[in-house]
Amino acid sequence: MIKARGYAANHSFTRLKPLEFQREEPKPNEVQIDVLYCGVCHSDIHQVENDWSNTVYPCMPGHEIVGRVVATGSSVTRHKQGDLVGVGCMIDSCRQCEPCRAGDEHHCEGHNSWLATYNGPMKPAAMTEDGVNTYGRDNTYGGYSNVVVVPEDFVLRIPESLPIEAAAPILCAGVTTFSPLRHWGVKAGDKVGIVGLGGLGHVAVKLAKAMGADVTVFTTDKDKIEPGKALGASEVVMEGDKEAFKRLELSFDFILSTIPEKHKVDPFITLLKRNATYCAVGALDQIPGYNNMEMVMHRRSLAGSLIGSIRETQEVLDFCAEHGVAPDVQVIPIQDVNEAYKKVKNEDVRFRYVIDMASLKQEMADA
């Protein structure tokens, strides 16, 4: 067994605190990774606070992991000791269902769906008809820790040209926005709207710009007007600006919503061209009703997208390296993670916190 330490919450109302635990040694197909950096995602907060009513405690978040391989199982061929690698939202899937065979592990239809980097299977045993957990793990511990052990085919290669600390958010925020932009065929010259300018939104702006799109940002925060323009948006529109929304009717090829809570979509539907799509990636709550007349009159679509596949995650890492795209990050010690959570909830971060795990290793040395 591997002695490990991380930060975890024991209940929805408790702070993240140090937790010592053990990880299993790498199986033949697994690699052991020394965690260097881990991003702080808004979904980490939702999970810790049990907003989706499925949290398994103790809950140790972290699914934007960058580190170095320090040990490999006997059958590993994709990675070797010393490699700089990443781990995103998933560490396994059933590998047998149609989505998995097609390379869409994030849509796994197996008995327990995919195995999340933390909090166990996406479909807990309690949600299955027979109460069986095919992974044999009721809980998994994430990247707010010094070490992780992951099957080699769920481990990504980090391009050398990417800033190592900025690579972490690409593993979730990057692929979560890249996947729908690619799936709905965003191309040079398209007019793309990005709703919300936070951890996901600011990456979406950069990716859409790198694809050659003309990007407009929609926000409720006037303090994000200048940052939005600095990121490359041709226009930043305040939600509620009726004149701007009227002017922009029937002008967008694609709109991507990155808002992490439920929100109205009606104001944005009229902005879509014929056959265009509004896609929500940030919110996992119910979306309020919409006027279907506006949908059918121009054959518009309302859609959703869930993170992205392992293949797409590698694609976005390589795309970012090729086009010089990197998330804007603020590096923090792990001891400040609870304060960081408060600031994320208050939208007081530009634009993504990343934990430097050297702070955890120093804490372990001092213990």
**Rounded-to-integer distance, Cα 97 and Cα 279, Å:** 25
Within this chain, do residues 143 and 193 fall inside the same structural domain, yes or no? no
Decide if pLDDT at 2 tops 90: yes
Burial class of residue 356, CB neighbours in 10 A (0-12, 13-18, 19+): middle
> Are residues 294 and 230 both part of a single domain?
yes
pLDDT the model gives residue 291:
85
Q: 148 and 24 share a domain?
A: yes
Please state the domain count of the chain. 2
Residue ranges making up the domain that contains 273: 174-304
Based on the fold, state whether residues 252 and 130 are members of the same structural domain.
Answer: no
Q: Which amino acid is at 195?
A: V
Does 180 share its domain with 95? no
The CATH number of the domain holding residue 234 is 3.40.50.720
Residue 167 lies in a domain: no
Q: What percent of the chain has pLDDT over 70?
A: 100
Same domain, 233 and 361: no
Residues 210 and 336 in one domain: no
Q: What is the overall mean pLDDT for the chain? A: 95
Per-residue pLDDT tens for 3-52?
A: 999 999 999 999 999 999 999 999 999 999 999 999 999 999 999 999 98
Instruction: Convert the pLDDT of each residue in 136-175 to its tens digit.
Output: 988 999 999 999 999 999 999 999 999 999 999 999 999 9
Q: At 233, is the pLDDT very low, low, confident or very high (cuts 50, 70, 90)?
A: very high
Inside any domain, residue 27: yes
pLDDT value for 141: 98
Buried b (16+ CB within 10 A) or exposed e, 283-320: beeeeeebeeeeeeeeebebeebebbbbebbbbbbebb
Q: Are residues 269 and 240 in the same domain?
A: yes
Amino acid at 130: D
Q: State the amino acid at position 60 in one-letter form.
A: M
The pTM assigned to this predicted structure is 0.95
**CATH number for position 76:** 3.90.180.10
Q: Among the three residues 304, 337, 353, which one is the final residue of a domain in this structure?
A: 304
The answer to whether residues 229 and 332 belong to one domain is no
**Looking at the predicted structure, is the pLDDT value of residue 130 above 80?**
yes
Residue 320 belongs to some domain of the structure: no
Q: What is the pLDDT of residues 24-38, one digit of tens each?
A: 999 999 999 999 999
| pLDDT, tens digit (0-9, with 9 covering 90-100), for 290-323 | 889 999 999 999 999 999 999 999 999 999 999 9
